[in-house]
Amino acid sequence: VSDTDIKELEDVFGLNGQVEHKLSFLKKNVSKDIKLVLIAHSIGCYITLEMMKRASELQVHSPCGAGLGRASTLVPTIERMAQSPQGKLMTPLLCKLRYILYMPVYLLSFLPEGVKASLVRFALRGMKTCDESSITTSINLFSVDCIANILYMASQEMMKVVERDSTTIKQNLKKLIFYYGTGDSWCPQNYYDDIKMDFPDGDIRLCEKGLRHAFVLDASKEMAAMITDWLQDDLTKL
């Protein structure tokens, strides 16, 4: 927060605050004449669209998000989150019952780091491969502050990510790549069907690799290689 000069922003860990946080970072650290390539995953796709809407002066060359659970708007959670299969399950917990999770997390925070890492590995044991950095990062979930911020923002997502911002998408359609998953419970395939119907000329793709929404856990290199291939021609023109 201190790096972006928005300490005065009241709701910095909320959805709107996170949009403003990213805009503030770019305005402070990136020259206006720099062309940008934005790559976003999940709720980051919503944030990316909001950034393009609020700061049209940004020279965004080719934003990416992921509807994957996938890439370049990778698995884009940009609409009807609470109505998705996972949203229906999680909304009551996130919006009404999230405080009950704080106490067990607080107690677990006293465990030795090695025990925490073992618990994370146990939780991810079903994966064929797992990036070791995922283990290190996931240990942060034993922090009450971290969990509180995550659940707070997630509760806002359920309430605020309702209507797809088709106006902003239409205005920036040639800059956008949408990548949807086939078995994504946060961003089901019918969302892909709907946006494909509304924007038949858009670069809107459906994953054929069976990647999960949280592809960062076991397929980050595969996703990075895919995005690089997509953007290779565009990047040579920058």
Supply the residues annotated as catalytic.
Answer: 42, 184, 213
Structure tokens at 235: 């990047």
What is the SS3 assignment for 177? strand
Q: In a 10 Å sphere around its CB, with 0-12 CB exposed, 13-18 middle and 19+ buried, how is residue 64 labelled?
A: buried
Report residue 121: phi and psi, to 5°.
Answer: -60, -40
Cβ(55)–Cβ(28) below 8 Å: no
Cα separations in angstroms, 108 against 98, 101, 105 = 16, 11, 5
Distance, in Å, from the CA atom of 20 to the CA atom of 54, rounded to the nearest integer, reads 9
Q: What is the DSSP string of 10-58?
A: TTTTSHHHHHHHHHHHHHHHS-TT-EE--B-BTHHHHHHHHHHHH-TTS
Cβ(104)–Cβ(207) below 8 Å: no
